[in-house]
Amino acid sequence: MNETDLNNIFRQATATTPADQGAAKRFLDHHRSRRKSYRHRLSLVSLILASAAAFTGTTILISHPNALPSSAAYDAYNSIQGDGW
């Protein structure tokens, strides 16, 4: 085999095929589907977190139906200034 033969082999091997041309579409189809599935999972997690926050808030509100606990800062303020603002 000489240099020309090798060049011919490279020329044939690198001629673009339909499989080469379709590579972008095949990749992008997978890529879009992966991203769609990722976004779906992300929105599901957000929904679960929001539901958990709402549930926790409601539970706290129901278990302490009266006044909210006063803070130490508010108590200190009242002890200096007297009741009321």
Q: Is 83 in the site for another protein (CB under 8 A)?
A: no
CA distance 51 to 68: 23
CA distance 38 to 35: 5
Q: What's the min distance (Å) between Cβ of 43 and another protein?
A: 17
Compute the half-sphere exposure of residue 56: CA atoms within 13 Å on the CB side of its CA.
Answer: 6
Q: Which 20-79 positions form the footprint of another protein (CB under 8 A)?
A: 20-21, 23-24, 26-28, 30-31, 35
Compute the half-sphere exposure of residue 13: CA atoms within 13 Å on the CB side of its CA.
Answer: 6
- 19 vs 72, beta carbon nearer another protein: 19
- 20 vs 60, beta carbon nearer another protein: 20
Task: Write out the residues near another protein by the rule CB under 8 A.
Answer: 1-3, 5-21, 23-24, 26-28, 30-31, 35
